[in-house]
A and B are shown apart, each in its own frame.
Chain A
């Protein structure tokens, strides 16, 4: 093959290594509005709120990567209000108790929310990891993303195991 690689041939990537990659990949299939995000213009922040399940995997994934000319950085945050500066926010399972608060806090900010938390897309989240056996899949709620000014590419929707298009929040 044209692009020889030894990675992946040796060891099967761990669940969170996969998720770290996906986290980065999601951002490649989502369009953010041109204005309205008060973030530093030269970086593209992928933030982890709460306990970091990725270990060094996320940093490794985003290293040297750019999106729309901006270098991607991984950030560890603990305060929900810090999340508005992020483009992608992974809400760790440790934040289950205050999920509602976190989402409310974000409001209509153009932040792509991702989490492992169950029923996340029914509770106001945009992307939720699910496991099918040992395969990492995800479902999305495109309506919630649209409300935040984010456009999910049809390519992304195509590979999602489930696409919700409702802003009606369940519990």
Chain B
């Protein structure tokens, strides 16, 4: 850029000088030719006056030493050619320009030559006119010389400028380029241990490079710290998970063994109560008979509770066997199995539209058995119970639902629904162990799915669940469908 500017300036200056020189040279050429004409004329006065053209021609022949003079002609005042000189033979003579009145001289540039006519006076009287022509060879030679000089100067300045610019480049551009290259390598390889090379100079560039390097060092430090803390976190998570797994396994083993071990004494109580009732029942008074019945019913309840708890504990230990399952068929079986529970009731079943799912059929059957059983139980005060089971698509996930028009529950306590032994209804109103929904949740979570519920008191309840592991869509569906949480 600076080279362009200085080059242009130089060229313009050169052209200006050139133009001025040409102009002054032109003026000089005309003056020189005028002087020559005057000298020739002065030396030819007597020759003209005494009609001695040979003498005039002798004078004219002196022009041989002036190589640019093409021709010289002396005319008498009458306009008659008197004597002449031609540099080149056979050359035709263009007509001379006319001298305007009151002037001694006139010149004309034409066809690459200058023609000049000068009037010669002697003792105040015109004696002759001299017409001289000069080629512009001198001028062209000068133009050539000048162009050569300008070109040489131009070339030398260009070389000087190039040398200067290359030295500027060495000290400024190259370090910047190196810095940019380093930055790109760092960016590409994400390698913050690279450092930009210092050029050993003490200027602003060195400051820039060292700042850049310092920045890299800081990033590297922070990177290392980040990695360290991430490793630490991972380790912590692993530790906690392991602890949790151990605790979980312990808990399951404990609950299994407790349930299992509880069965034996319970069987004794049940067995001996039964014997007591059969063998001594008739001998007992009605009061004792009632107490015994109470014991038997309590044992029955406890037995069912233990059964349920054992089932739940088994889920934790069991490996999933995933097969493609037709949920519609599964539901039919469940309803058929539950038939004794709704004998004599009027129920409007709306079942269908469920897609086949990859799942553990046995466990999912337990899920439906629990949910449908609940629906039957909590809708029994309706004259006509409506129980639906189907599927809706929410955010790309298939959400399965079971709905009834029963008692429903207060959503404020929805988070308690799936807790073990947690019940929202009194046992006097609706019997139950408080283990069913907890078992359902465990099965669904084991499939990688989630369950939640929506309800209002006396307006029925809807349980939603997904089995697939599409957690994102599911989470949003949950957020939209169950603001109180499930």
A residues touching B (Cβ–Cβ < 8 Å)?
1-9, 18, 21-22, 25, 28-29, 67, 135-138, 153, 155-156, 158-159
With contact pairs A1-B96, A2-B99, A28-B122 given, residues A153 and B46 touching in the complex (Cβ less than 8 Å) = yes
Residue B51 lies at the interface, judged by CB distance under 8 Å to chain A: yes
B75 to chain A minimum Cβ distance, whole angstroms, is 6
Question: Which residue of chain A has the shortest Cβ distance to B52 in the bound complex?
Answer: A159
A106 to chain B minimum Cβ distance, whole angstroms, is 24
With contact pairs A1-B129, A3-B126, A28-B123 given, residues A9 and B80 touching in the complex (Cβ less than 8 Å) = yes
With contact pairs A1-B79, A159-B55 given, residues A138 and B98 touching in the complex (Cβ less than 8 Å) = no
The digit string for B120-137, where 1 denotes a CB below 8 A from any CB of A, is 001100100100000000
B119 to chain A minimum Cβ distance, whole angstroms, is 5
A67 to B123, CA, bound (A): 8
Does A8 contact B46, Cβ atoms closer than 8 Å?
Answer: no
A158 to B96, CA, bound (A): 28
A108 to chain B minimum Cβ distance, whole angstroms, is 26
Residue B158 lies at the interface, judged by CB distance under 8 Å to chain A: no
Give the residues in chain A near B77, CB-CB below 8 Å.
1, 3, 5
Residue B334 lies at the interface, judged by CB distance under 8 Å to chain A: no
B48 to chain A minimum Cβ distance, whole angstroms, is 9
Give the residues in chain A near B76, CB-CB below 8 Å.
8
Does A159 contact B78, Cβ atoms closer than 8 Å?
Answer: no
A26 to chain B minimum Cβ distance, whole angstroms, is 9
Question: Which residue of chain B has the shortest Cβ distance to A7 in the bound complex?
Answer: B78
Give the residues in chain B near A29, CB-CB below 8 Å.
46
**What are 8 of the A-B contact pairs (CB < 8 Å)?**
A2-B99, A2-B126, A4-B79, A22-B49, A67-B123, A138-B50, A155-B46, A158-B46
Residue B117 lies at the interface, judged by CB distance under 8 Å to chain A: yes
Residue B45 lies at the interface, judged by CB distance under 8 Å to chain A: yes
A159 to B55, CA, bound (A): 6
Give the residues in chain B near A3, CB-CB below 8 Å.
77-79, 119, 126, 129
Does A135 contact B46, Cβ atoms closer than 8 Å?
Answer: no
Give the residues in chain B near A25, CB-CB below 8 Å.
49-50
Interface size class of B (residues with CB under 8 A): 20 to 34
Give the residues in chain B near A67, CB-CB below 8 Å.
123
A114 to B77, CA, bound (A): 26
Question: Which residue of chain B has the shortest Cβ distance to A28 in the bound complex?
Answer: B123
Question: Which residue of chain B has the shortest Cβ distance to A25 in the bound complex?
Answer: B49
Give the residues in chain B near A137, CB-CB below 8 Å.
50, 52
Question: Which residue of chain A has the shortest Cβ distance to B59 in the bound complex?
Answer: A158
Give the residues in chain B near A5, CB-CB below 8 Å.
77-79
Does B50 contact A28, Cβ atoms closer than 8 Å?
Answer: no
Does B78 contact A155, Cβ atoms closer than 8 Å?
Answer: no
A43 to B186, CA, bound (A): 115
Question: Which residue of chain A has the shortest Cβ distance to B79 in the bound complex?
Answer: A1
A156 to B49, CA, bound (A): 10
A162 to B377, CA, bound (A): 168
Question: Which residue of chain A has the shortest Cβ distance to B46 in the bound complex?
Answer: A155
A67 to B125, CA, bound (A): 11
Residue B3 lies at the interface, judged by CB distance under 8 Å to chain A: no
With contact pairs A8-B76, A155-B46 given, residues A2 and B129 touching in the complex (Cβ less than 8 Å) = yes
Does B51 contact A136, Cβ atoms closer than 8 Å?
Answer: yes
Give the residues in chain A near B320, CB-CB below 8 Å.
none
A61 to chain B minimum Cβ distance, whole angstroms, is 12
A134 to chain B minimum Cβ distance, whole angstroms, is 11
Which 4 A-B residue pairs are closest in the complex by CB-CB distance? A2-B99, A5-B78, A155-B46, A1-B79
A94 to B99, CA, bound (A): 47
Task: Find A158's partner among B51, B55, B98, B99 (CB 8 Å cutoff).
Answer: B55
Question: Which residue of chain A has the shortest Cβ distance to B122 in the bound complex?
Answer: A28
Give the residues in chain A near B75, CB-CB below 8 Å.
1
A2 to B75, CA, bound (A): 10
A112 to B464, CA, bound (A): 155
Residue B47 lies at the interface, judged by CB distance under 8 Å to chain A: yes
Does B119 contact A159, Cβ atoms closer than 8 Å?
Answer: no
Residue B101 lies at the interface, judged by CB distance under 8 Å to chain A: yes
Give the residues in chain A near B99, CB-CB below 8 Å.
1-2
B83 to chain A minimum Cβ distance, whole angstroms, is 12
Does A159 contact B129, Cβ atoms closer than 8 Å?
Answer: no
Does A18 contact B45, Cβ atoms closer than 8 Å?
Answer: no
Question: Which residue of chain B has the shortest Cβ distance to A2 in the bound complex?
Answer: B99
Does B45 contact A155, Cβ atoms closer than 8 Å?
Answer: yes
Give the residues in chain A near B101, CB-CB below 8 Å.
2
A5 to B78, CA, bound (A): 5
A9 to B77, CA, bound (A): 12
> Quick one: which of B75-113 are within 8 Å of A by CB?
75-80, 96, 98-99, 101
